[in-house]
Amino acid sequence: MGVPLSEDLDRVSEGLSRTFERMSLVLFSEETLQTALDLMCGLAKETIPGTAGAGITLVREGKHLSVAFTDHDLVPRADDLQYKLEQGPCLSAMQDRKVYRLDSVSSDERWPRWSAAASALGIESCLSSPLLVRGSPIGAVKVYSFEPNRFTERDEQVLAMFAEHAAIVLANAVEYNNAEELSAQLKQALETRDLIGMAKGILMLQENLDEEAAFNMLRGASQHENIKVRDIARRLLESIGSPERE
């Protein structure tokens, strides 16, 4: 059929490199992790011909999360089946760190419970690749089709290439996202700590108490009224800012 596989793959590789480079630039300027995942899913579907649905799963905090899919019904259901049944090509792809291809889900015998359930959903072909960072799986990317024998050896190699690029971008996006979340959480925590600090200071001055006693006073009110110390503190500060004092 004309072009030798290696040349064909080189071209695909080049195209993927360029696309992922562009994606990285976009991601680090504005986009969130979810956007990255959605973009990548769409790209996986476009990159492998004949794909009915693509999905990406990430492992976060020990849990497998089906985090992006090109259709909202088929792919999450097929994915969730794997995690519920604790078997499936994506799980194996992650454990064995290789691409798995099913040409006929209904007659494949490697993951019998999953295959039965997946073919009931209409899935007949499936290709799964792990997303590896420094040799460890951070998740998986998979494509499904309703037709049997849809995916070829070329598609396996293309998906593997895709997964290599995607893993790097995703690992960075996940780290960035974690750092952002932590940063937001700490910022909020500092504001609350300041608020409570100010309230303690006011009580120390007004009631001639040391810090521990001031805290105990706030805590006592919190216990008595069943509202949080931060809300007791806020109320105290609001009462200080009353019109008579100005």
Instruction: Determine, following the binding rule CB under 8 A, whether residue 226 of this chain makes contact with other proteins.
Output: yes
Query: What's the min distance (Å) between Cβ of 202 and other proteins?
Result: 14
Instruction: Determine, following the binding rule CB under 8 A, whether residue 178 of this chain makes contact with other proteins.
Output: no
Instruction: Determine, following the binding rule CB under 8 A, whether residue 153 of this chain makes contact with other proteins.
Output: no
Query: What's the min distance (Å) between Cβ of 205 and other proteins?
Result: 16
Query: What's the min distance (Å) between Cβ of 209 and other proteins?
Result: 11
Task: Dump the DSSP string for 74-119.
Answer: HHHHHHHHHHHHT-SHHHHHHHHTS-EEES-GGG--SSHHHHHHHH
Instruction: Determine, following the binding rule CB under 8 A, whether residue 104 of this chain makes contact with other proteins.
Output: no
* H helical segments located in 97-152: 112-120
Distance CA 185, CA 72 (A): 31
Report CA Rg, the chain. 27
Judged by CB under 8 A, how many residues of this single chain contact other proteins?
20
Instruction: Determine, following the binding rule CB under 8 A, whether residue 7 of this chain makes contact with other proteins.
Output: no
Q: How many CB atoms lie under 10 A from the CB of residue 99? A: 23
Distance CA 5, CA 20 (A): 22
Query: What's the min distance (Å) between Cβ of 64 and other proteins?
Result: 19
Distance CA 49, CA 217 (A): 68
Instruction: Determine, following the binding rule CB under 8 A, whether residue 11 of this chain makes contact with other proteins.
Output: no
Residue/partner pairs of 34-40 with CB below 8 Å, 24 or more apart:
34/67, 34/68, 36/169, 36/170, 36/173, 37/67, 37/68, 37/170, 38/68, 40/68, 40/141, 40/166, 40/169, 40/170
Instruction: Determine, following the binding rule CB under 8 A, whether residue 152 of this chain makes contact with other proteins.
Output: no
Instruction: Determine, following the binding rule CB under 8 A, whether residue 200 of this chain makes contact with other proteins.
Output: yes
Q: Which one, 9 or 209, has the nearer CB to other proteins? A: 209
User: Which of 17, 149, 185, 239 is the binder for other proteins (CB under 8 A)?
Assistant: 185
Place of tokens 């109320």: 235
User: Which of 17, 107, 136, 223 is the binder for other proteins (CB under 8 A)?
Assistant: 223
Binding segment toward other proteins, per CB under 8 A, in 7-15, 104-112, 142-150, 214-222: 214-222
Q: Lay out the site mask for other proteins across 16-45 (x = CB under 8 A, - = otherwise).
A: ------------------------------
Instruction: Determine, following the binding rule CB under 8 A, whether residue 197 of this chain makes contact with other proteins.
Output: yes
CA angle 160, 162, 166 (to 5 degrees): 115
User: Which of 83, 146, 176, 215 is the binder for other proteins (CB under 8 A)?
Assistant: 215
Structure tokens at 153: 């050896």
* Residues of this chain that bind other proteins (CB under 8 A): 185-186, 189, 192-193, 196-197, 200, 211-213, 215-216, 219, 222-223, 226, 228-230
